[in-house]
Amino acid sequence: MHMGSNIQFGTGGFRGVIGDDFNKENIQHIAQALANIIEENRQEDRPIIVGYDNRFMSDFAAKWFVEVLNGNKIKCFLYTHSVPTPTVMSTTRDMHNYYGVMMTASHNPYYFNGIKVFTYGGYDADVNFTSLVEKKIGEVTKIKTLNERAARKTGLLEDFNNLGSYLSHIKSFIDPGVSKNKLRVLYNNMNGVGVIGLKPLAEKLHIHQFTIMNEDHDAFFGFNLPNPTKDALSGEFSETVVNQEYDLGMATDSDGDRLGIIDEKGNYVSANEILASIYWYLITQRGYKGDIVKNCATSVLVDLVAESLGYQCHEVDVGFKNITHGMNEFNALLGGESSGGLTMRGYIYGKDATFSGALFLEMVIKCEKPVSRLIKELKQSVNYDYSFFEDFITLDVDAKKVLDYMSNNLPKLSIPHEDVRIFGRNLKFLFKDRQWLLLRLSGTEPAFRLFAEFKDPELAQELINELKQYIDTVQNIIAEK
């Protein structure tokens, strides 16, 4: 009864194609492995919070997971409805539980699902813990289960809902002065669970008009990628913001931790710009103090803003757990990444689009300026004149072999780099004037993501193309071995 070989945890937990890797047998193996860890560490004295999003099978998966924990005499609190991932993180922290579990594949396509595990304090499980889970999965010989009726009867399973306290916690960070506003917001829920937090929060904050699109539960997400990227929000959504004269458009991914913004002119506001502007606002308008932490794929705009305010930007490896650990190490005020998530000192140790969305709305209300002007003035104030690019290349051979080869045989690019930094599974080439090029091994698929930030957009594109050609050459070398 050995599974395990195809169960691997990446930067965002375990993810797999539904019915293939994400199936009842694998889900219950992961649950039994966790139960065995809990038993070995004698951690049965505290319950486990289990949540799920709107993805196909998330609710079933949560029950299958709970059946195994209950079968091992571990008490579970199971949410009565789908919730954003950050609610499970915050509950794990606030109830001082050893673990929390969330059924989600985050922003992946509709045919994926997955499992995120949170550890004491509400942190994303680190690589040491997920490696232990993988090891324990391979050692599972018997899966113990207890059906739902019996578990409820014996008190091992209880329903749970803490949406009220979760939203009150967010509201405690927001300036009460926001209630006097004329803000008109168009919100694209992308058929996810973000609306569960943002709809009642918008009411609590007395947002003048908060119009919701794609509020309904659709496990296929309209056959769109449920991720608020520039591509996803361009076209119909951004046009509606402009044509109906909204002050801004806002969108969240399928499990409610990534935020996307469209300004009043229909332009996409990147996660880099969201992070830098909120940091600027908290320091200059709210009187907060502290450094900022970003991952290695995030814009130099963040560094420039921090330095202009007398603070420092600290750079870490990709994976939000690295950001939160960096925030603790440097007692930083804010931490975030270019893929669309941030958190703040005193809030949870993970990204939360309900929280970052509320901060962004507060900034727009209190600054009394259009979003486009806020971002433009911020960039001008620090002389930011770079262009930011992202690209993607899928691999036909083992990605780690490609990365290992490249680490030892660096490409000769048309512009010589001044330095190379290695962040985990990322290669970052540093050029003069803080320009850079990053090769990042995807944590969820056999692919590389490429990022570049240069003053000359044509040069950035040229270097990305050179790097892609070199990757293809390396693939051929490895395939021939």
Section 386-395 average pLDDT: 92
299: which 2 tokens? 């814009």
Nearest to 25 by CA among 8, 58, 1: 1
Looking at the predicted structure, is the pLDDT value of residue 5 above 90? no
Instruction: Give the strand order in the sheet containing 334-337.
Output: 313-316, 292-295, 334-337, 341-344
Nearest to 108 by CA among 396, 443, 351: 443
How far apart CA 286 and CA 284 sit, in angstroms, is 6
**172-381 has which fold?**
Alpha-D-Glucose-1,6-Bisphosphate; Chain A, domain 3 (3.40.120)
Write down the pTM of the prediction. Answer: 0.94
Looking at the predicted structure, is the pLDDT value of residue 470 above 60? yes
Looking at the predicted structure, is the pLDDT value of residue 444 above 80? no
Indicate if the alpha-carbon torsion angle 90, 178, 267, 345 is positive or negative. Answer: negative
Section 146-173 average pLDDT: 97
User: Mind listing the pLDDT tens digit for each residue in 113-147?
Assistant: 999 999 999 999 998 999 999 999 999 999 999 99
Question: Which band of pLDDT confidence, cut at 50, 70 and 90, is reported for residue 4?
Answer: very low
DSSP state letter for 282: H
Q: Do the Cβ atoms of 50 and 62 come closer than 8 Å?
A: yes
> Thinking of the domain 387-480, which architecture would CATH place it in?
2-Layer Sandwich (3.30)
**CATH match of 9-164 with 3.50.50.60:** no
Please report the pLDDT score of residue 327 as a whole number: 97
Show Cβ contacts of residue 382 under 8 Å, excluding neighbours closer than 6 positions: 301, 304, 305, 307, 308
Please report the pLDDT score of residue 10 as a whole number: 75
- Provide, rounded to the nearest whole percent, the portion of the chain with pLDDT above 90: 89
Show Cβ contacts of residue 190 under 8 Å, excluding neighbours closer than 6 positions: 214, 221, 224, 226, 227, 228, 232, 251, 252, 253, 254
Gyration radius of the chain's alpha carbons: 22
Task: Give the Cβ contact number of residue 424 at 10 Å.
Answer: 15
Section 432-446 average pLDDT: 87
User: Mind listing the pLDDT tens digit for each residue in 246-291?
Assistant: 999 999 999 999 999 999 999 999 999 999 999 999 999 999 999 9
Of the candidate ranges 8-17, 233-242, 374-383, the one whose mean pLDDT is the lowest: 8-17
User: Mind listing the pLDDT tens digit for each residue in 154-165?
Assistant: 999 999 999 999
Nearest to 462 by CA among 450, 479, 474: 450
Of the candidate ranges 67-76, 188-197, 361-370, 469-478, the one whose mean pLDDT is the lowest: 469-478
Q: Where in the chain is the domain with CATH 3.40.120.10?
A: 9-164, 172-381
DSSP 368-393: TS-HHHHHHHHHHHTT---EEEEEEE
Question: Which band of pLDDT confidence, cut at 50, 70 and 90, is reported for residue 424?
Answer: confident
Q: Where in the chain is the domain with CATH 3.30.310.50?
A: 387-480
Please report the pLDDT score of residue 400 as a whole number: 84
